Chains A and B, each alone.
Chain A
Amino acid sequence: MASNDAASRLLVEPWYLPVGDEVQMFEAAYRSRLPVLLKGPTGCGKTRFVEYMAWRLYRHADSPHREIERPLVTVACHEDLTATDLVGRYLLSGDATVWMDGPLTFAVRSGAICYLDEVVEARKDTTVVVHSLTDHRRVLPIEKTGELIDAHADFLLVMSYNPGYQSVLKDLKPSTRQRFVSLEFTYPGVEVETRIISHEGGVDAQLAQRLALIGEKVRNLREHGFEEGVSTRLLVYAAQLVARGITPRRACDVAVAGAVTDDPHVREAITAIVDVLLP
């Protein structure tokens, strides 16, 4: 909890390497308080991007929003997530009942960015609760307390989802998705990914480039049982294992080949790709 607390306070600038114009786009959206939808495969940097943007908008030296204590509220969505979980509930406290804001309400009141990660995992009736926050009204009705909260001027709603592995059943309702501007993420090219792996994994540029090449080649197999290819995050894991003294081949075996597939043939092919690409 302590680490979550520290993360939501964003005391340290998260490291993020822009790939395109996503930073400018997000800043423009924030200035107009337009809700943002981040689309992209798993492990491509969506969450890191939100953290970076929250730091940039709320913690930067010349930010007018520095007084906000917790600039980023992240909710990992799942199928049992209810509107109550987002908005808040009464809790028993001794002989009394106490209202406890949910993460969404907390962000709405405090002016933070509320980030609903993997939002399609939540039930569709749950996500409907955000509708009134995403248009000109910017209000959050709380049924149980009878409140209608006007969102703080600095509040912004950001959601992410991964179109790649979602089934037809787990798509966003059009009435929800058309309330957001959409930023698409994908895995970076070899050059950018090399820099990311080198920085995050703590390995030299030469090995990082080899790992990035492995990522690029393995992604060519993405239709064979794994929809999205290997994520940048997994390549960083491999690099981190190497930095801890594991051999690069073994690190790729556990962090890449073993992590993306259970199909023995695909795994064998990935191992062969790793074998020829690593020195």
Chain B
Amino acid sequence: MNDGQAVLLADIQRPIALFAQGLYGHFLHLKPIEPAAREAAGADGENQHGESIELPACIGQFQTRSHNLGAYRIAVLRQIGYLADGAADFTLDGARKRMSVLPSAPSAPDLSELERFLALGSRPALLRRMFLTLEGARIDGLIAQRYPGAAADLARVRARARAQRPNTVAANAVVKAVESLILYSLGGERSGLPGEWLALVDSVLAAGADVYDSACSAVELCRAIDARFHLRARTGLQSADAAPADDAQESEYFSAPPDVASLGLDFSAELAVKIVGARHHRGGQVGGLQSLSSRVITSGTPETSAQEVKSPDGGEAARALAAALPQEPSRSYLYDEWDYHTRAYLRAWCRLYEKRLRGERFDFIDDVHRRHALLAEQVRRQFGFIRPEQWHRVRRTNDGDELELDGVIEAVIDRRVAGASDSKLYVRRDRALRDVAAAFLMDMSASTGFPLPAPTAAGSASDAPAEYAPYFYGGVDDIPPVAAQPKRRVIDVAKDALALMCEALRRLGDSCAIYGFSGDGRERVEFLVAKDFRDRLSAQTWAALAAMEPLRSTRMGTAIRHALVKLLREPARMKVLVIVSDGYPQDHDYGPDRRDDSYGIEDTACALREAERAGVIAFCVTIDPAGHDYLRRMCADSRYMVIDDVMALPRELTKIYRTLTA
């Protein structure tokens, strides 16, 4: 490997993902090819929706950086080929239409139809190798035809793949023959292979050839190989040019797993089977999200920390959330993470899945108004006093800073023609426009599911100032007594606060977005969108906000970085990010030692610094009484607030926003 010219997937992941999306037509999750053990552990995105492609984490086998980049492009094009024109739609019925003698495949719900096909016959390993060889050749042929500009990169990658094939000098005749076929399929020499074998390879390169042509030719090649070597051997008609069959050698050859490092390039067709398998599992995974959410919320581990508690109404919340998360393609993004131990970023360390929330409580805002009638009115009044923060020229006014020349000329003309004129001749500078975009990022960790203590009779509404009254059950006439209310949780109060904010900002004309986040390891940071900047406030928006439920952990840095990306896309002059949380940032793999909270705090602090550098005003609000301990390590004193009484969150949040933007 030429390290100096090597290309890391982490460095090019966004442009290469966009390249893939452009050519494929839909978003594709981009994943580094992982060792089998890691995959088996389900490390990457088992809950994702949408399709994915896998690419090597690094390509440095070629001499120049542009060649290595070209190899990445070939890897993408091949997998797009498998998805769009390849094995992804393979069915046994389709194959049977071409091969009438195809034996019936045993039922195996866990296997895709392609995998069941490849398990057929007496020599499934040979069939698999032949099919993948031919399918790889077919897709390479399509790439050459459709993407003429990729021809040089494709030729280079194929030449390298040929050079990487094993030495078969000491191999038996079957292995030699198969290797010769593979080399030929990769653009190598004919190597004395029988003409009919070569014709079978060539047949998949013909215009219009599809995956079933690859399957048919693979079966034919298996028959031909069997006939030439094994059948003759068994009947005593051993040919002079064939070595005796060596089952052990063959078995080792066929069963050797492909080298993970070379999967994306030299053995890319292996990925075709994975792609089909993944699609099969997604298709058959009814309620995949539901099962995930149930697991996330109800499974306590021995290592569960104070922050990471079992949700009090876990099952119900999981079901609600599963319903709220749409069964539509999500998008995933890779983000760096700051490792304060090494003082360096871990490149593309965290995978964040962005999903839309959907809900059914379309009357949520009415409930909020009922709960916070007084505060809603106060917020409306207070926000009415916020002065716009940008000057705007108003033309043709009766009074103003300067005369408007066009207006004066017209007035003179009008006076001459009609003897009268308009008196609106001035230009005035008004503070008439606000230009603010605000994103609210809400912690949806499991601890936000804590039930809040029911208010006691003493010190409730009667003792509290008027503006506190709405937060106390029974304190206001139109709120039913305590006994009639379900227990309120931290997240419920936070949702109320965000709903009130949203309403106020609509009146103010500020653009706003509401996001929630949670974490379940670096490969599964969830970013849930209740309202995006472009969304209008509607019943659907309120229902989505109401659908926010406690999940798992608090991988805050990644969520802040993603919110920052979304904020920076907004054209507003002033950008504000308000993070609402109930505890310190933590996740089960947020740092090498989960007992050390510094890693998460440092990463979050770094993400907040990134926001400030990008010109975004970031502000943290926490309801954790111990918040001072870590917030002062994350941001300046003026950039955070600790709220002792969670019930005061709606009032404090609106106050904070006014201070930040007025």
Q: Please give the residue numbers on chain A whose beta carbons come within 8 Å of chain B beta carbons, in ascending order.
A: 84, 89-92, 97, 144, 168, 217-218, 220-221, 224-225, 265-266, 268-270, 272-279
Contacts and interface: CB of A to CB of B under 8 A. Distances in A.
Given A97-B417, A144-B414, A217-B23, A266 B536 contact: no
Given A90-B417, A97-B413, A225-B569, A269 B19 contact: yes
Contacts of B18: 221, 224, 265-266, 268-270
B619 to A, nearest CB: 26
Contact of A221 (B21, B413, B416): B21
Given A217-B23, A279-B148, A91 B569 contact: no
Interface of B: 14-19, 21-26, 73, 77, 147-150, 409-410, 412-414, 416-418, 536, 569
A7 to B, nearest CB: 28
5 contacts: A92-B409, A97-B417, A217-B23, A221-B18, A275-B73
Give the 7 A-B residue pairs with the shortest CB-CB distance, closest first: A269-B18, A268-B15, A279-B148, A276-B147, A276-B150, A265-B14, A276-B149
Contacts of B147: 276-277
B22 A273 contact: yes
A272 B150 CA distance: 10
A92 B569 contact: no
A243 to B, nearest CB: 20
A221 B15 CA distance: 11
A89 B410 contact: yes
A168 B536 contact: yes
Contacts of B17: 269
B22 A218 contact: yes
Contacts of B148: 277-279
Contacts of B417: 90, 97, 144
Contact of A269 (B22, B413, B536): B22
A90 B413 contact: yes
Contacts of B23: 217, 220, 273, 276
B221 to A, nearest CB: 31
A89 B592 CA distance: 76
A148 B345 CA distance: 72
Contacts of B24: 220
A275 B416 contact: no
B73 A220 contact: no
A13 B147 CA distance: 37
A241 B574 CA distance: 40
A217 B25 CA distance: 7
A276 B148 CA distance: 6
A144 B22 CA distance: 55
A247 to B, nearest CB: 12
A275 B410 contact: no
Contacts of A278: 148-149
Contact of B149 (A90, A269, A275): A275
Contacts of B16: 269, 272
B73 A276 contact: yes
Contacts of A269: 14-19, 21-22
Contact of B413 (A91, A220, A270): A91
A219 to B, nearest CB: 8
A97 B19 contact: no
A190 to B, nearest CB: 12
Given A265-B15, A276-B149, 19 more contacts: A92-B409, A168-B536, A217-B22, A220-B21, A220-B25, A221-B21, A225-B569, A266-B15, A268-B15, A269-B18, A269-B22, A270-B18, A270-B22, A273-B19, A275-B73, A275-B150, A276-B77, A277-B149, A278-B149
Nearest to B154: A276
A221 B414 contact: no
A64 B588 CA distance: 80
A220, A265, A272, A273 pick with most chain B CB within 10 angstroms = A272
A278 B146 CA distance: 9
Nearest to B25: A220
Nearest to B143: A276
A248 B427 CA distance: 50
A262 to B, nearest CB: 12
B623 to A, nearest CB: 34
A277 to B, nearest CB: 6
B604 to A, nearest CB: 25
Nearest to B26: A220
Contacts of B21: 220-221, 269
A89 B413 CA distance: 9
Contacts of A265: 14-15, 18
A218 B17 CA distance: 13
Nearest to B24: A220
A268 B17 CA distance: 11
A272 B413 CA distance: 60
A246 to B, nearest CB: 17
Nearest to A269: B18
A111 B176 CA distance: 83
A274 B149 CA distance: 8
Contacts of A97: 413, 416-417
Contacts of B26: 220
A33 B62 CA distance: 67
Contacts of B412: 92
Nearest to B418: A144
B324 to A, nearest CB: 23
A277 B17 CA distance: 17
Contact of B414 (A90, A268, A273, A277): A90
Nearest to A84: B410
Nearest to B69: A272
A44 B418 CA distance: 46
A91 B23 CA distance: 57
Contacts of B15: 265-266, 268-269, 272
A272 B149 CA distance: 9
A80 to B, nearest CB: 8
B410 A272 contact: no
A220 B77 contact: no
A75 B11 CA distance: 48
A242 B430 CA distance: 50
Contacts of A224: 18
B416 A272 contact: no
Nearest to B509: A169
Contacts of A221: 18, 21-22
Nearest to A89: B410
Contacts of B416: 97
A91, A221, A274, A275 pick with most chain B CB within 10 angstroms = A275
A129 B148 CA distance: 55
A97 B415 CA distance: 10
A96 to B, nearest CB: 9
Given A269-B15, A276-B77, A92 B413 contact: yes
Contacts of B418: 144
B290 to A, nearest CB: 28
A56 B474 CA distance: 74
A208 to B, nearest CB: 15
Contacts of A270: 18, 22
A253 to B, nearest CB: 13
Contacts of B25: 220
A270 B21 CA distance: 11
B79 to A, nearest CB: 14
Contacts of A273: 19, 22-23
A265 B16 CA distance: 9
A28 to B, nearest CB: 35
Contacts of B409: 92
A272 B70 CA distance: 9
B129 to A, nearest CB: 29
Contacts of B14: 265, 269
A274 B18 CA distance: 13
A1 B14 CA distance: 47
A47 to B, nearest CB: 26
B476 to A, nearest CB: 35
A278 B25 CA distance: 18
Contacts of A168: 536
Nearest to A268: B15
